[in-house]
Amino acid sequence: MSMMKKVALITGASAGMGKDFALRLIQEGYEVYGAARRVEKMKDIEEAGGHAVALDITDEAMIEAAVNRIVDEQGRIDVLINNAGYGSWGAVEDVSLEEARRQFEVNLFGLARLTQLVLPYMRREGFGKIINISSVGGKIYIPLGAWYHATKHALEGWSDCLRFEVEPFGIDVVIIEPGGVETEFGDVMNEHLVQASENSAYKTLIEHYNRLMQDFGTQAAPRVITDLIVKALKAKKPKTRYSAGTMAKQILIMRRLLSDRMFDRMLRSMLKMK
């Protein structure tokens, strides 16, 4: 295997972190397949020497077709980076269960099915790296983000179980927990918050939340997360978790040190709510 290019599949590669992962891994010598719904947004990946794959992570037929194409062309998949995901914001009472289910389909069940299909090829080779892009939101909570946090908390536990199961087959499972990163995430999050919050009983909380978000400055560039990906891929024994991005390490430390009630009080103070 060391004589050949390793094959990497990256979901959510049409923008933000996923695109940065793809372009960097091409530079690192990987045979890269970027997967996303917006294939037209991945022309730069193709121009750099990678491949663009049409993929809606909620469509099982497209998931199967993507894996089959890569295996037909390359014979294997060595690296899977589960990056596709989004945040749907709004009070629990306001967000429809249809939207909540979609959050889980995109952020958990879609990547789970893709992982299931890739694992047999990794087991056959006795090698594999599965990198799941979680979030500091998988360890903390912020009001109005219940469904997003639920998916990321679930992904953390799911990844831990998967790591234990596949380790004997030479497969590593790594969790990346980004903090603030400059991507389309915030725009999508705000769009969902507006849609869910018309005539909301939680108007005061939403106003305080919006003011808090305006106070945050420039977010970290995607490359800080890409550097972690490369570090994990090069390590013989990668850590189970890596974190980077604006406030990532500080947030995780605070969550470890503060009790639930203390963390609640900190949030209320940040939101300037009594």
Looking at the annotation, which residues are catalytic? 14, 134, 148, 152
- The percent of the chain in helix, strand and coil, each rounded to the nearest 5, is 55, 15, 30
C-beta separation of 19 from 42 below 8 A: yes
Residue whose tokens read 């099982």: 60
Rounded to an integer, what distance in angstroms lies between the CA atom of residue 183 and that of residue 223? 11
Rounded to an integer, what distance in angstroms lies between the CA atom of residue 134 and that of residue 242? 10
With the CA atoms of 23, 27, 29 and 30 taken in that order, what torsion angle do they form, in degrees rounded to the nearest 10? -10
3-state secondary structure of 238: coil
